[in-house]
């Protein structure tokens, strides 16, 4: 058993992009979980005597316009940015996957009706829908997350439904149905494990997308409000000081990019891994 | 002809469903945040607000009525091309949005040029050198492009080209020079999907039998690539573009804010900040309309461009 | 002794990993003006041999042995020199007529394009040549010239491909199962036009087919191929009546009706 787990892992890591992704992910995990322990300063501590400093042994990445330590804010913000991204996708999956499973499994007119509405909404850009929802609820980080969940679950419902429709006609599901298993059991035992790999790969890429979205919203002022050190909000905060201290612009952006890159690498790697395992490889 | 009509019909149904559902959701959400629009108006008017003022305004804007009545009234207006009036600017919403449309369209075109210049060469390189280093390079560029926040890229461009090299203006709209950085930012933000799509399509096209036949006729490699393979692979790209007009309108919003570009995106973000509900409602409607119309155009273009589909119509 | 056009010696094809041999020591020769059959069941390596001559093998296959066209070593020539031979010196017609021409470019344009790749002629001249050869293939030249390939029937497309060969006058024409996707009548017609081209240009033909009757009737010499190997070579008469290899015997016995060989026919009838 141990050896199969090991060979699976090594097969995953043979993809060089995947191993880079895993490396970044490990780093980020350490930062998120040890965040409080490794930050040298209070991320909210204002020190006007030490504003807009370059990097030094005291302030590794310098200080911002209010004299707050940039490194500490970045590390503290990691928990927030990454945590919220994962939370939003987790919620979207929790809502979307069951609905997709049931809708696809039951099929028929109910399914057709809901899919028609979902298609209508899906054609609408999620960014603008999130803007609208945030606009109605008022700009704040939690409202942006709510808006994203409200929009993203639809995508999962849709994908899962498609997968279920394809799996449903296969023999093992028919056998399970005929052998008087309950619908719930059929879905849980047979359909859910089939759709999970696709969902996981998709979720990895989506977390990156959501992080981009949240930071973009924070940047334009509709997301995290000061003094929250969300990375996009940090960029917005320091907007007026880039010319003097470019590092205020460089580090938060770099942090976002690295995190999203990590998500994309992991998502792509998992996808090709699952595709090969399912024999979907075209090579 | 019947086919064209049925395509138009199904798109109109899509538009109606989309607008009804979305506008109802936003109405509902607005109702869930009590009192706020009135407070927003009072804040703008800068008066000492009294309960009497609030009551008067509630009546004036119809906020005292049940949500279904308000909703019905809004829909009735929409049918007559009246999207209501902005609470803040006191101008018709439709006029406000339409006056912003040209700037957004101009930026879209600029972005498309950059998109084309980036994705076609990189897609071709990826496909022609499949599995070799130029392919990996092109894929990594696409991967980085998909990971970089567009507003950060814009900030970097401003920093390098405007502040350090002093080559281009920082913000605003006016000359061609104002046009360059926003277009590049938009183009780079959109390019990754197109690079991947073109690469994949080109790889599968290059394996098709008609390319083999063209090689067997002794045609030059470049000619086969540009006239035989690329043309067949560009159609999905155009389709993709038409179908992603919506996400383009979303992505462009951030870039308009960043560069103070006076387009629709800037308008909507400002309206959200000021909680100018009629503008937000109107904006959703207009975006929905643009999305559906571009989908419709893709459908119709497919009927015209692709002779094989035309053939299918004649036979079927 | 006429001039040798194609000379293949000990040609081997393996996939890049080297774990699977696709073609084993194949020897084939085609002389000037000759019509040679290459028969065998599908997957026996016939098309692979043709693609090797045309340089159309995917890059994940490796070749060894010798492959000459006249004096040019096709395994070592530059791809540009090889390209100049294709169409002009060695023509090829494919089984899948839907893929013979690019679907979204009009037939005429593709013919002009091909002619002008190999000859320095004006567009007008190339157009005249195209219309002329289409006429000779019994096609409505004006209409076909303006058509897309999918607007034509399979037989018509194959005749356009033959017309293309007629325009370029290659010394050798490879026909890869060109009648397989067609109905019997159109197939016969296409083969008659191939004969016409041979009469006019004197080109050699390598006819790849799994249809034995066709090979017996139309070829000067036959190679029998099985699982990547040439198992037998000889005149049609020899192959049919005096075959030595067990595979050839099996192949011949599968043939439903050969009027000359009544015993076989009777046997089949009894079985039925």
pLDDT tens per residue across span C250-259: 777 766 444 4
pLDDT band at B308 (very low <50, low <70, confident <90, very high): low
pLDDT at B90 over 50: yes
C-beta atoms of B253 and A127 within 8 A: yes
Contact residues on chain B for A16, CB-CB shorter than 8 A:
none
pLDDT of residue B138: 94
pLDDT band at B140 (very low <50, low <70, confident <90, very high): very high
Whole-angstrom Cα distance, residue B127 to residue B137? 12
Interface of B with C in 167-186 (CB under 8 A): none
pLDDT at B41 over 70: no
C-beta atoms of B213 and C101 within 8 A: yes
Q: How far is A173 from chain B (nearest CA, A)?
A: 34
**pLDDT > 70 in chain C, percent:** 92
According to DSSP, the residues that pair with C93 across neighbouring strands are C175
pLDDT at B20 over 90: no
Closest chain C CA to residue B315: C151
Can you tell me the mean pLDDT for B279-298?
A: 87
Whether chain B has a CB inside 8 Å of the CB on C170: the answer is: no
C-beta atoms of B307 and C84 within 8 A: no
Q: Which residue has the higher pLDDT, A134 or A219?
A: A219
Please state which of the ranges A9-13, A66-70, A109-113, B36-40 shows the lowest mean pLDDT. B36-40
Can you tell me the mean pLDDT for C97-116?
A: 91
pLDDT band at A175 (very low <50, low <70, confident <90, very high): confident
Closest chain A CA to residue B15: A120
C226-233 CB contacts, 8 Å cutoff, 24+ apart: C226/C40, C226/C41, C226/C44, C227/C24, C227/C44, C227/C45, C228/C13, C228/C21, C228/C22, C228/C23, C228/C24, C228/C26, C228/C44, C228/C45, C228/C48, C229/C24, C229/C25, C229/C26, C229/C45, C230/C26, C230/C27, C230/C28
Can you tell me the mean pLDDT for B296-311?
A: 67
Top residue of A15, A74, A124, A235 to mutate, by most chain B CBs within 10 Å, is: A124
pLDDT of residue C129: 93
Q: Which two tokens stand for residue B78?
A: 């929409």
Whole-angstrom Cα distance, residue A153 to residue A92? 4
pLDDT at B14 over 70: yes
Q: Which residue has the higher pLDDT, C96 or A42?
A: C96
Instruction: Classify residue A212 by burial, with Cβ atoms within 10 Å: 0-12, 13-18, 19+.
Output: buried
Q: How far is B234 from chain C (nearest CA, A)?
A: 12
C-beta atoms of A216 and B149 within 8 A: yes
**pLDDT > 90 in chain A, percent:** 19
Whether chain C has a CB inside 8 Å of the CB on B66: the answer is: no
Q: How far is B220 from chain C (nearest CA, A)?
A: 7
Q: Report phi then psi at C8, rounded to 5.
A: -110, 125
HSE-up (13 A, CA, CB side) for residue B49 = 16
Please state which of the ranges A272-276, B7-11, B51-55, C127-131 shows the lowest mean pLDDT. B51-55
Can you tell me the mean pLDDT for C53-65?
A: 86
pLDDT at C249 over 50: yes
Top residue of B88, B138, B152 to mutate, by most chain A CBs within 10 Å, is: B152
Whole-angstrom Cα distance, residue B36 to residue B54? 11
C-beta atoms of A128 and B249 within 8 A: yes
Contact residues on chain C for B311, CB-CB shorter than 8 A:
148, 150-151
Q: Which two tokens stand for residue B288?
A: 């929905």
Whole-angstrom Cα distance, residue A43 to residue A49? 16
Please state which of the ranges A120-129, B128-137, B142-151 shows the lowest mean pLDDT. A120-129
C-beta atoms of A132 and B21 within 8 A: no
User: ipTM of the predicted structure?
Assistant: 0.86
Which of B41, B65, B67 has the alpha carbon at shortest distance from B54?
A: B41
Please state which of the ranges B86-100, B198-212, C83-97, C233-247 shows the lowest mean pLDDT. C233-247
- Closest partner residue to C151 (CB to CB) among B219, B223, B311 is B311
**pLDDT > 70 in chain B, percent:** 84
CB within 8 A of A281, min separation 6: which ones?
Answer: A272, A275
C-beta neighbour count of B76 within 10 angstroms? 10
Q: Furthest-apart CA pair in chain A: how many Å?
A: 76
- Closest partner residue to B149 (CB to CB) among A17, A134, A212 is A212
Whole-angstrom Cα distance, residue C163 to residue C166? 5
Name the average pLDDT for chain B: 83
Q: Which two tokens stand for residue A48?
A: 């006007």
Closest chain A CA to residue B289: A124
pLDDT in tens, B129-138: 988 899 999 9
Closest chain C CA to residue B311: C151
Decide: C213 and C259 in contact? Cβ < 8 Å: no
Residue with tokens 């008066």: B47
pLDDT band at C269 (very low <50, low <70, confident <90, very high): very low
Can you tell me the mean pLDDT for B154-175?
A: 80
Q: Report phi then psi at C10, rounded to 5.
A: 50, 40
Q: Is the peptide bond before A227 cis (omega within 30 degrees of 0)?
A: yes
pLDDT of residue C41: 81
Q: DSSP class of residue C86?
A: B
Q: Which residue has the higher pLDDT, A52 or A260?
A: A260
Whole-angstrom Cα distance, residue B135 to residue B121? 11
C-beta atoms of B17 and A116 within 8 A: yes
pLDDT of residue C227: 85
Please state which of the ranges A236-245, B150-159, C125-134 shows the lowest mean pLDDT. A236-245
Q: Furthest-apart CA pair in chain B: how many Å?
A: 86
Contact residues on chain B for C164, CB-CB shorter than 8 A:
217
Contact residues on chain B for A245, CB-CB shorter than 8 A:
none
Which chains contact A through at least 3 pairs of Cβ atoms less than 8 Å apart?
A: B
pLDDT at C110 over 90: yes
C-beta atoms of B218 and C88 within 8 A: yes
pLDDT of residue B202: 93
Decide: C209 and C31 in contact? Cβ < 8 Å: no
pLDDT at B292 over 90: no
pLDDT at A8 over 70: no
Q: Which residue has the higher pLDDT, C212 or A119?
A: C212
CA B23 to chain centre: 19
Whole-angstrom Cα distance, residue A158 to residue A151? 12
- Closest partner residue to C102 (CB to CB) among B210, B216, B221 is B210
pLDDT of residue B264: 93
- Closest partner residue to A125 (CB to CB) among B254, B287, B292 is B287
HSE-up (13 A, CA, CB side) for residue B203 = 16
- Closest partner residue to B149 (CB to CB) among A136, A215, A268 is A215
What are the helix and strand counts (H, E) for chain B? 15, 0
What are the helix and strand counts (H, E) for chain C? 11, 10
Contact residues on chain B for C171, CB-CB shorter than 8 A:
none
Cα-based distances in Å from B127 to A276, B75, B124: 21, 50, 5
pLDDT of residue B294: 87
- Closest partner residue to C102 (CB to CB) among B214, B306, B311 is B214
Whole-angstrom Cα distance, residue A221 to residue A209? 18
Please state which of the ranges A121-125, A179-183, B113-117, B283-287 shows the lowest mean pLDDT. A179-183
C-beta neighbour count of B21 within 10 angstroms? 16
pLDDT at B50 over 70: no
Can you tell me the mean pLDDT for B164-184?
A: 79
Name the average pLDDT for chain A: 82
Name the average pLDDT for chain C: 85
pLDDT in tens, B61-73: 666 677 778 888 8
pLDDT of residue C204: 92
pLDDT of residue A256: 95
Whole-angstrom Cα distance, residue A135 to residue B37? 11
Residue with tokens 């990445």: A61
């Amino acid at each position: 058993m141990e050896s199969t787990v090991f060979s699976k892992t090594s097969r995953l890591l043979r993809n060089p992009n995947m191993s880079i992704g895993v490396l970044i992910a490990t780093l980020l995990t350490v930062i998120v979980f040890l965040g409080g322990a490794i930050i040298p300063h209070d991320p909210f501590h204002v020190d006007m005597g030490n504003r807009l400093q370059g990097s030094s042994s005291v302030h590794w990445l310098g200080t911002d316009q209010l004299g707050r330590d940039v490194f500490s804010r970045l590390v503290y913000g990691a928990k927030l940015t990454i945590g919220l991204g994962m939370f939003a996708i987790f919620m979207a999956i929790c809502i979307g996957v069951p609905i997709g499973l049931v809708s696809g499994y039951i099929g028929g007119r109910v399914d057709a009706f809901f899919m028609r509405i979902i298609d209508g909404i899906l054609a609408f850009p999620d960014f603008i829908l999130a803007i609208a929802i945030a606009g109605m609820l008022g700009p704040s980080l939690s409202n942006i997350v709510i808006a994203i969940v409200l929009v993203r679950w639809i995508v999962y419902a849709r994908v899962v439904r498609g997968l279920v429709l394809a799996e449903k006609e296969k023999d093992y599901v028919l056998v399970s149905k005929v052998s008087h298993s309950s619908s719930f059991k059929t879905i849980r035992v047979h359909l859910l494990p089939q759709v999970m790999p696709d969902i996981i790969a998709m979720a990895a890429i989506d977390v990156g997308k959501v992080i981009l979205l949240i930071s973009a919203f924070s940047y334009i002022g509709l997301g995290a409000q000061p003094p929250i050190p969300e990375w996009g909000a940090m960029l917005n905060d320091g907007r007026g000081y880039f010319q003097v201290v470019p590092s205020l612009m460089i580090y938060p952006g770099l942090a976002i990019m690295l995190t999203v890159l990590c998500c994309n690498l992991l998502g792509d790697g998992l996808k090709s891994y699952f595709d090969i395992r399912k024999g979907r490889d075209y090579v | 002809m019947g086919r064209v009509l049925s395509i138009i019909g199904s798109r109109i149904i899509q538009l109606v469903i989309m607008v009804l559902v979305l506008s109802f959701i936003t109405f509902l959400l607005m109702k869930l945040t009590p009192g706020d629009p009135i407070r927003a108006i009072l804040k703008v008017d800068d008066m000492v607000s009294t309960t009497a003022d609030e009551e008067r305004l509630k009546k004036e804007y119809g906020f005292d009525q049940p949500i279904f009545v308000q909703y019905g009234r809004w829909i009735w207006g929409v049918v007559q091309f009246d999207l209501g009036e902005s609470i803040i600017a006191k101008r018709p919403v439709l006029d406000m949005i339409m006056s912003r449309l040209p700037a957004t369209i101009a930026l879209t075109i600029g972005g498309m040029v950059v998109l084309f210049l980036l994705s076609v060469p990189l897609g071709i390189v990826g496909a022609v050198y499949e599995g070799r280093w130029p392919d990996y390079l092109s894929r990594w560029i696409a991967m980085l492009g998909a990971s970089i926040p567009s507003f950060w890229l814009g900030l970097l461009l401003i920093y390098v080209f405007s502040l350090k090299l002093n080559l281009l203006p920082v913000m605003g709209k006016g000359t061609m020079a104002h046009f360059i950085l926003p277009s590049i930012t938009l183009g780079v933000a959109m390019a990754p999907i197109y690079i991947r799509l073109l690469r994949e399509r080109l790889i599968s096209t290059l394996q098709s039998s008609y390319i083999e036949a063209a090689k067997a006729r002794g045609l030059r490699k470049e000619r086969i690539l540009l006239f035989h393979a690329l043309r067949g692979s560009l159609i999905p790209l155009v389709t993709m573009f038409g179908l992603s007009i919506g996400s383009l309108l979303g992505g462009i919003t951030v870039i308009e804010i960043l560069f103070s570009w006076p387009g629709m995106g800037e308008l909507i973000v400002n309206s959200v900040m000021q909680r100018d509900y009629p503008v937000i409602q109107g904006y959703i409607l207009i975006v929905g309309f643009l999305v559906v119309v571009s989908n419709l155009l893709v459908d119709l273009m497919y009927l015209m461009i692709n002779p094989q589909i035309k053939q299918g119509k004649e036979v079927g | 002794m006429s001039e040798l056009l194609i000379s293949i010696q000990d040609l081997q094809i393996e996939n890049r990993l080297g774990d699977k041999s696709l073609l084993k020591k194949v020897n084939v020769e085609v002389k000037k003006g000759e019509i040679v059959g290459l028969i065998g069941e599908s997957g026996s390596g016939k098309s692979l041999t043709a693609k090797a001559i045309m340089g159309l093998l995917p890059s994940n296959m490796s070749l060894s042995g010798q492959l000459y066209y006249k004096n040019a070593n096709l395994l070592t020539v530059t791809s540009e020199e090889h390209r100049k031979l294709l169409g002009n010196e060695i023509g090829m017609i494919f089984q899948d007529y839907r893929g013979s021409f690019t679907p979204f470019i009009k037939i005429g344009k593709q013919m002009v394009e091909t002619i002008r790749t190999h000859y320095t002629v004006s567009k007008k001249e190339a157009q005249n040549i195209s219309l002329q050869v289409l006429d000779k293939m019994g096609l409505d030249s004006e209409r076909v010239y303006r058509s897309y390939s999918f607007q034509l029937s399979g037989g018509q497309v194959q005749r356009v491909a033959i017309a293309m060969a007629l325009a370029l006058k290659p010394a050798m024409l490879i026909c890869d199962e060109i009648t397989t996707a067609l109905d019997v009548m159109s197939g016969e017609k296409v083969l008659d036009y191939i004969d016409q081209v041979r009469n006019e240009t004197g080109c050699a033909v390598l006819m790849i087919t799994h249809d034995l009757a066709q090979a017996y009737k139309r070829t000067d010499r036959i190679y029998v191929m099985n699982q990547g190997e040439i198992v037998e070579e000889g005149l049609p008469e020899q192959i049919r009546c005096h075959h030595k290899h067990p595979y050839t015997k099996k192949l011949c016995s599968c043939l439903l009706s050969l009027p000359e060989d009544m015993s076989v026919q009777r046997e089949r009838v009894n079985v039925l």
